[in-house]
Amino acid sequence: MTGSLTIVGLGPGSAALMAPAAAQALAAATDLVGYGPYLDRVPATAEQRRHASDNRVELQRAREALTLAASGHRVAVVSGGDPGIFAMAAAVLEAVEAGDPAWRALAIDVVPGISAMQAASAQVGALLGHDFCAISLSDNLKPRDVIARRLSAALQADFVIALYNPISKARPDGLGAALDLARGVQAATTPVVFARAVSRADETIRITTLAEAEATMADMQTVVIIGSSQTRLVAKAGGGAWVLTPRSYEAAS
């Protein structure tokens, strides 16, 4: 086949945080496929065709991209953050697995990007300095009891936990339930970071404690990161603080 498909991670928002390989893949594409707001972040060119779609149609989007690539187009599927973290890389390969056998002959590449949790950690200091995990609170593709079970296990294991897809109109109570679970395990003083639209013009970073954290502090553009028992604040000389999860682990005596 003469076509190709590249799944591109745009990073958290700022063009400065996009990998050069991602920019090259976007420039080389004849067709750009993606969720509308993500496509809006890619500079327009007259030669390229854009195929925007709504949220929550990832498999449909993946099939459209694969069909275009199979017909000879150089396709770039855009994804926010890193395409391999709750994003389009998995959707494309799921479509390949269940779809037209000819798609398996396509040249398919994945270009990584800086994820929201990485960008948020960098903005506040070193929040992911020790073991951590990422959990999506969306129950669109997995049951709520699985989410609760995994979150409980991660809290008991004392990971720093990055919560993706924390809240939406259809799921107004998911983040609140997650914070309540955390309060049953972690100390009230545990740092919690709400990082919205990291690196974009409307970025908002809020550092609070588990005792004061509220679900209303987040929306679907927010990644919420709950610290471990080791996470602490390091005061800055002029006020404010960095958030640190040190590389060494000191078990409670």
Q: Same structural domain for residues 31 and 105?
A: yes
Please report, rounded to a whole number, the percentage of residues in the chain having pLDDT higher than 70. 99
Tally of domains in the chain: 2
Contacts of 75 (CB under 8 A, 6+ apart): 3, 4, 5, 6, 29, 30, 31, 32, 33, 65, 68, 69
Task: Quote the CA–CA distance of 195 and 93 in Å, as a whole number.
Answer: 30
State the amino acid at position 226 in one-letter form: I
Residues 139, 239 within the same domain = yes
Same domain, 177 and 223: yes
Residue 58: predicted pLDDT? 94
- Going by pLDDT thresholds of 50, 70 and 90, the confidence category of residue 253 is very low
Higher pLDDT, 54 or 194: 194
Encode pLDDT of 56-69 as tens digits. 899 999 999 999 99
State the pLDDT at residue 92: 98
**In a domain? residue 85:** yes
pLDDT computed for residue 252 by the predictor? 63
pLDDT single digits (tens) 79-91: 999 999 999 999 9
Strand order in 232-235's β-sheet?
125-126, 241-244, 232-235
pLDDT for 10 equals 97
Summarize pLDDT for 42-51 with one digit per residue, the tens.
998 889 999 9
Domain end call among 92, 114, 136: 114
Structural domain span for residue 81: 4-114
If we measure between CA atoms, which residue out of 122, 16, 129, 28 comes closest to residue 8?
A: 28
- Residue 39 is assigned to a structural domain of this protein: yes
- Between 253 and 147, whose confidence is greater? 147
* Average pLDDT value over all residues in the chain: 95
Q: Are residues 61 and 145 in the same domain?
A: no
Out of 80, 114, 148, pick the residue that ends a domain: 114
> Rounded to whole angstroms, how far apart are CA atoms 53 and 33?
8
pLDDT band at 151 (very low <50, low <70, confident <90, very high): very high
Domain stop point among 93, 114, 135: 114
Distances (CA, A) of 104 to 7, 62, 65, 92, 210: 15, 13, 13, 11, 47
pLDDT at 195 over 70: yes
Label residue 1 by pLDDT band (50, 70, 90): low
Residues 106 and 36 in one domain: yes
Residues of the chain with pLDDT > 90, as a percent, come to 91
The enclosing domain of 154 has a CATH number of 3.30.950.10
